[in-house]
Structure 1
Amino acid sequence: MDTRIRLALDTTGDAGTRVRGEAAPDDGAAVDEAEAPHVVVVALTGPLSQVTARPLAERLVELLRRHGGVVVDVSGMKLTHSGAVHAFAEAAALAGEWPDVRLALAAPDATTAALLVSSRVAQRVPVHPDTATAVAHLDERPELVRGWWRFTVDPQAPGAARGHVRRVCHRWAVDEEAREAAEIVVTELVTNAVEHAASASVVEVERREHSLRLTVRDFDLAPVPEAHLPEPTSPRGRGLAMVAAVSRAWGVESHRDGKTVWSEMTTTA
């Protein structure tokens, strides 16, 4: 049976904002959240604004990590700032990986529903017309699923990154060819971060229909060398050539404090 919780979004002036959570089961009894039901339905009331967005995201992260599945009924919510809808995508990203955490929204008004689509929040957090439909479809994979991990300058980082990528590819039903390509890419790029850039790195993987995108962010200001095969006698330098060979597309984005190398692979589903 679903557990239902009310979350009131209250602005408290200069003192800041809090998200009040009050359990509200049908029989009026108190809810012990430690029992961790399979699905929690959260009914939001009050204004969702720039001020209330962050504490809402933090509260949803707590609920997702504790219960795994959360449906948010937004019919009683008043949206006062368009950017605040990103709180839902932020919560989904911070809480963990699908299918361990599953978040969906239910019963938005027409304006909010359109904004969720135009802002692309609906790609990460599915939107449904009512809570019953949202609960029924909560286990379905969203249009976009994502995983991310941080690594230190450690010789074991490339192997750890490869293991994470292999694990999520299996859970997200990525075909073997794309999975193997992703493992090659993340191994080469994290190895470059550790051995050449001497930098920590952040790995992100995104899964969409027929597409897998992998990025490795480092904090080295040196430019990325050309992706070409070295001389046959050279023991090093094949990393970016391997990335280029197994990727549908790849590239580099520069930042003030480093760079991101990205790679995309085509998947069969």
Structure 2
Amino acid sequence: MDTRIELPLEQTGDSGADLWSGAPSEARGDRGSSPTVVALSGPLSVSTARPLVARLCALLRRDGAVVADVSGVTLTHSGAVHAFSEAAAQAGEWPDVRLAVAAPDVTLAALLVSSRVAERVPVHPDVPSALDHIDDRPELVRGWWRFDVDARAPGDARQHVRRVCGLWTVDEDAREAAEIVVTELVTNAVEHAGSRSVVEVERRAQSLRVTVRDFDLVPLPDVHLPPPTSPRGRGLAMVAAVAATWGVEAHRDGKTVWAELAV
């Protein structure tokens, strides 16, 4: 039997209320367990969206699979619908965490689609349909990790990428290319930028996007192959060789290097 929790949105910010009656927070659901249905009610607004993210994120980490029933929700700010995709992104990687929305109201359902929330969190017309399809992979799945300035960071990043590519049925060529990209870019962050880094991997139907964000203000050097006798300096050239396309985005406090790979 599915667990059902009633959650008035006005209470999402009340840290003293135990709205998750049931298993302790250490108990993590698995793909064989029944999803939890959260029946939301009340106004979904800017003020209630942020605590809702925290509540959903905690529940996803505890139970693994959650269906948010929004049939009792009154939307007061269109941007608040991003609470669902933000919760799914913060909680972990699919399929370890699976969130779906049951939205009988066609206007709200259309907004979830047009705002692209439905790419990350599938939207269904009712709870039974959401439960039936809770294990379906969303159009967009994403994983992200932070790394300190540590010689082990490139290897750790590579292991994370290998793991999620296996979960997301990424073909071997794309997986190997993604491992090369993340290893070279995190190595650049550690050895050349001397910076911590944030790695993100995003899988869509036909592509895999790898990004590495560092916090070094020095721009990247031009891409070129070093002399054959040089043991270093091939990182960006290798990224350019395996990626379908790649680029750099500058920030006030660093930069992001991204690479798109065909899947």
Letter in 2 for 1:2: D
Aligned to 2:218, the other structure's residue is in SS state coil
Q: Does residue 1:181 correspond to 2:177, yes or no?
A: yes
Pairs within 5 Å for 1:191-206: 191-206=187-202
Q: Deviations over 1:159-179 (max 9, x none)?
A: 000000000000100000000
Pairs within 5 Å for 1:150-169: 150-169=146-165
Structure 2 CA distance for aligned equivalents of residues 42 and 84 of structure 1: 17
Structure 2 CA distance for aligned equivalents of residues 22 and 161 of structure 1: 36
Inter-CA distance 208–169: structure 2 relative to 1 (3 Å threshold): same
- Give the aligned CA root-mean-square deviation in angstroms: 1.6
Letter in 2 for 1:68: G
Inter-CA distance 108–228: structure 2 relative to 1 (3 Å threshold): farther
Residue 28 (structure 1) aligns with? none
Deviation at 1:94, TM superposition (A): 0.6
Pairs within 5 Å for 1:71-220: 71-220=67-216
Q: Greater CA deviation, 138-147 or 34-43?
A: 34-43
- Aligned residues of 1:9 and 1:18 also touching (Cα < 8 A): no
Deviation at 1:21, TM superposition (A): 6.3
Deviation at 1:109, TM superposition (A): 1.4
Unaligned ranges ≥5, structure 1: 24-30
Residue 65 (structure 1) aligns with? 61
Inter-CA distance 254–108: structure 2 relative to 1 (3 Å threshold): farther
Letter in 1 for 2:224: H
Residue 2 (structure 1) aligns with? 2
**Which of 20, 32, 54 pairs up with 2:22?**
32
Identity %: 71
Letter in 1 for 2:5: I
Structure 2 CA distance for aligned equivalents of residues 94 and 32 of structure 1: 22
Q: Does residue 1:48 correspond to 2:50, yes or no?
A: no
- Aligned residues of 1:5 and 1:21 also touching (Cα < 8 A): no
Aligned to 2:176, the other structure's residue is in SS state helix
**Which of 223, 236, 252 pairs up with 1:227?**
223
Letter in 2 for 1:202: V
Aligned to 2:9, the other structure's residue is in SS state strand
- Aligned residues of 1:106 and 1:131 also touching (Cα < 8 A): yes
Q: Does residue 1:262 correspond to 2:258, yes or no?
A: yes
Structure 1 CA distance for aligned equivalents of residues 19 and 126 of structure 2: 21
Unaligned ranges ≥5, structure 2: none
In the superposition, the TM-score normalised over structure 1's length comes to 0.92
Aligned to 1:227, the other structure's residue is in SS state coil
Aligned to 1:215, the other structure's residue is in SS state strand
- Aligned residues of 1:211 and 1:265 also touching (Cα < 8 A): yes
Count of residues in correspondence between the two structures: 256
Deviation at 1:9, TM superposition (A): 1.1
